[in-house]
Amino acid sequence: MSSVVISGTGLYAPPSIITNEELVASFNAYVLRHNQENQAAIERGELTALKPSSCEFIEKASGIKQRHVVVKDGLLAIDRMMPLLPKRGEGELCYSAEMAVAAARQALAQAGRRAEEIDFVLCGASTSERPWPAVAIEIQKELGCVGFAFDMTVACATATFALSTACDAILSGMARKALVINPELMSPQINYRDRDSHFIFGDAATACLLEREEEATASPLYRILNRRLKTSFSYNIHSHCSFTTMAEPNLTFERFFAADQFFVQRGRKVFRELLPMICETVEGQLHDQHINIADIKRLWLHQANINMNNYVARQLLGREASREEAPVALDEYANAVSAGSIIAFHKYRDDLQPGDLGLICSFGAGYSIGSIVVRKVR
Amino acid sequence: MSSVVISGTGLYAPPSIITNEELVASFNAYVLRHNQENQAAIERGELTALKPSSCEFIEKASGIKQRHVVVKDGLLAIDRMMPLLPKRGEGELCYSAEMAVAAARQALAQAGRRAEEIDFVLCGASTSERPWPAVAIEIQKELGCVGFAFDMTVACATATFALSTACDAILSGMARKALVINPELMSPQINYRDRDSHFIFGDAATACLLEREEEATASPLYRILNRRLKTSFSYNIHSHCSFTTMAEPNLTFERFFAADQFFVQRGRKVFRELLPMICETVEGQLHDQHINIADIKRLWLHQANINMNNYVARQLLGREASREEAPVALDEYANAVSAGSIIAFHKYRDDLQPGDLGLICSFGAGYSIGSIVVRKVR
C-alpha cells in the first residue's frame, strides 16, 4: 500500500477575542446580582450563594488565557450571557462552514492544490450546526470541490478520527485528495453562568489536506505512519441539546436554556478516568509499532487543559516535557474541541527535521482517543 | 486486496403505527379549526384558508400507507401535533441508540458474530439525537463491542456512505468487523401542520455487519463489489434546527417551533434536479465497472417516494420495473431516511441466487447519492 501524507494545513480563528479578565468581570457581575437578588433566601439557607471566579482560578485550572469567538455581542451581557447569532439562511454559509472554508483555503494553498482536485470533503466537528444538508456539502460547494462530502462526529477526538477516515478512503481508492476540516462553533453551546465550564471553549476551525505521498509536491510533508482509535462510553461529558427537546412534555421557554442543554462536564471524574486510558492507548500503539517514545520529537496533544497535557506528556516521557516537546496553543485559543491538536500541529512543526517522528493525539468526551504517528518526509 | 462482505442485517421498527387515515383525520381537524378560528381574516382576504388533505393524495404523491413512530402519544392531538418524548438522561439509552441496538443484535445473530468481535461501530443517521457523547459510543457500550465508534451524517444517503466508510476501514486494516447502524428518529423533526411534508417520514433503524470475506461464515453473504458516492449542494431540502437557535436575537418560545426548525422540502425542485443526477451517477458507475444493467437482478432503492423510484428504475432499465426488481418498503415504513434502502435490502434478498448482482442506492437531501453494487456469494 502506498502512504498517505498531510501536505497542507490551515487554521482560522475568528478575530473577536475574550480575555479571562473580560469573562470574569461579566461572570462576577452576574454572581453579584444573583446573590443580591436572592439575599433573603440565601440568608434563610434556602439557596446557596454563587461563588465568584478569578483569572487566577481559570489559568491555574486550565492554562487558558483567552478565547476566540465568532460573535462577542451579547456574550458578556449579564442579562443574556449568550452570543447574538442571527440564524444563517438560504444563500448564506452557516457559521461553521464559513470558518471551515477559511481554514481549508490555507490548507489548499500550502499543499499547492486547487479546490477542484479535492474529491472528498470531510467535516469533522463535535456538533453539527446544520445537518440538512450536511455542513461538509456546504463547504464542498463554496470551495468548488468535486466528488463527495459528509459530516462526522465523535466529540473531542473528531479531528484525528476524521484524519484516519480520510486516510482509509485514500488507501482504498475511494478518494484521491481529501480535505479534513474541523470547524468548532462552541460559543453558543456554553453555559456562561457555570463557574466550572464557562471559560473552557473557544471557536476555531482547522483543515488538513491529505493525498498519496507519490502525488504530493508540497513541503513540509508529513507521512501518516500509524493510527489508533479508541472509544469507551462515559456520561461525564455530555449535552442534551438536540431536536428532541422540542418534543418534551410540559415544555417551557426556560427549558431550552436549562443546564443540560449546554456542555456539561464532571472535570475530576474525567481526569481520573480518561488520563490512564490515553496513556495506555498511546503506549500500546508505540509498543506495537516498535517505536521508542524517545524517538517521538513532538507531542501535538489535544488542547483542552494544560494540566491534562502535562500529565500525559510526563507519563509518556517519564519526565516533564518542555514546551517545545509538547507545544501549547490553549492559552491563546482555549479548548477548540477537536480542532485543538491540529492547531498545535499547524503552528508548531516547521522546525522538525526530515525523518523526525511526531504524535497527533486528541482525546476527551466520549470517551474518545485518536492517536496518529507521523513522520516528517521533507 | 481482499473483499468486504455484508454478512448480516437487521431492522427495527417501533411497534406504534400511524395509518394515513389517522394522520389525515388529525391534520384535517387541525385545518378545520384553523380555518374556523380565522374565518373573518380569510373572508377579508388577509389569510389563505388551509387546504385539507386526503389518504388518496398522500398515497398518490408518495406511495406511503403508514409509518412507524417511537411514540404516538401527542402526535395526533391537534393542540400539540408533536410526539410526547421525555428526554432520555443519564443511565438511559437515547431513543436512537435503543432502536439501533435492536437492529444491531439481529445483524450480529444473522452473521453468527458476538458483539465483542466488533471493533468498529458506525452510527450513520441523518441527524444526531445526542452528540455528546456520540450515539455510536452509546451503542458500542450497550452491545459490548470493542475498538472504536463514531457518528456520521450526510442526510438521506447516510446509510450507503456509512457502508462505504466501514468498508474503507476494513480494507485499510483499521477495523476487522464493523457494525453500520442507521437509527432514524424523524418523528420529532416533522412539521405535522404542513400538508406537503407531514406524511413523509417514519422511525426505524437498520444494521449491517461488515467483515472480510475470508472470515465470514454466514449465509446469505453479499460481497461489496463497487461503491460510488456523490454530493452536490442543494437547499431544496433543509432544516435550521440546531443549537444556534438558542443564540438568535429576539428569541421567543414560538420561534423554536417555526417552520424552518423542521424538515423543509421543495418537492418539485428535488424531483427535477435530483432524478437526473441519480441516473447519471448509477449509469456512470455501471459503465465504468463494465456491468450491464440487465445483469443487475435487484434495485434496493432509497425508500422516499414511489414515483421517484419508478422514475429511476425506468430510466435505468429502459422499461417499467417489476416490484420484484425494485422492491417497495415505503408503503409500510414510509421514508425512514437513510435506513430506507437497507430496509429493502434486509427484507428482499433471500430469493437471489449465488452470483447474482444487486444495487443498493440511497439518495436525497444534500443532494447526496450513494450507490453500492453487491454480488451474492452464497
**Chain A neighbors of B84, CB-CB under 8 A:** 247, 249
Give pLDDT, residue B146: 98
pLDDT in tens, A197-215: 999 999 999 999 999 999 9
Give pLDDT, residue B1: 64
Is residue B124 a contact partner of residue B158, using CB atoms and an 8 Å limit?
yes
Is residue B304 a contact partner of residue B60, using CB atoms and an 8 Å limit?
no
Q: Which of B 82-111 lie inside 8 A of A, CB atoms?
A: 82-91, 94-95
pLDDT value at A2 more than 90: no
Query: Among A82, A148, A239, whose Cβ lies nearest the Cβ of B131?
Result: A239
Q: What is the mean pLDDT of residues A15-28?
A: 98
Best mutation target, B122, B141, B242, to test chain A (most A CBs within 10 A): B242
Q: What is the mean pLDDT of residues A84-104?
A: 96
The parts of chain B modelled with pLDDT lower than 50 are none
Sign of CA dihedral B231, B236, B242, B245: positive
- Cell numbers describing residue B59: 398515497
The type of residue at B240 is H
Please indicate if any CB of chain B lies within 8 Å of the CB of A154.
yes
Alpha-carbon distance A100 to nearest alpha carbon in chain B (angstroms): 16
- Cell numbers describing residue A173: 481508492
Give pLDDT, residue A1: 64
Q: Using only C-alpha atoms, what is the Rg of chain A?
A: 21
Cβ contact (<8 Å) for B235 and A91? Answer: yes
Give pLDDT, residue B131: 86
Q: Which of A 241-300 lie inside 8 A of B, CB atoms?
A: 241-249, 252-253, 256-257, 260-261, 263
DSSP assignment of B120-162 equals EEEEE-SS-S--SS-HHHHHHHHHT--SEEEEEEBTBTHHHHH
Q: Cα separation of B156 and A150, whole Å?
A: 11
Query: Among B74, B85, B366, whose Cβ lies nearest the Cβ of A134?
Result: B366
Domains of chain A by start residue, with CATH = 223-376 (3.40.47.10)
Residues 6+ apart with CB under 8 A from B140: A231, A233, B121, B147, B148, B149
Give pLDDT, residue B2: 84
Residue positions of B annotated with a catalytic role: 156
Cβ contact (<8 Å) for B244 and A95? Answer: yes
Please indicate if any CB of chain B lies within 8 Å of the CB of A174.
yes
Q: Please, what is the end-to-end C-alpha distance for chain A in angstroms?
A: 20
Cβ contact (<8 Å) for B154 and A172? Answer: no
Q: Which of A 181-200 lie inside 8 A of B, CB atoms?
A: 185, 188-189
Widest Cα–Cα separation across chain A: 73
DSSP assignment of A135-189 equals HHHHHHHHHT--SEEEEEEBTBTHHHHHHHHHHHHHHHTS-SEEEEEEEE--GGG
Cβ contact (<8 Å) for A132 and B252? Answer: no
Q: Give the predicted TM-score (pTM) of the model.
A: 0.98
Cβ contact (<8 Å) for B133 and A261? Answer: no
Query: Among B85, B152, B235, whose Cβ lies nearest the Cβ of A244?
Result: B85
Q: Which of B 41-80 lie inside 8 A of A, CB atoms?
A: 71, 74
ipTM of the modeled complex: 0.97
User: Residue A167 catalytic?
Assistant: no
pLDDT value at A114 more than 80: yes
A238: β partners: A264
Q: What is the mean pLDDT of residues A280-286?
A: 98
Best mutation target, A120, A122, A132, to test chain B (most B CBs within 10 A): A132
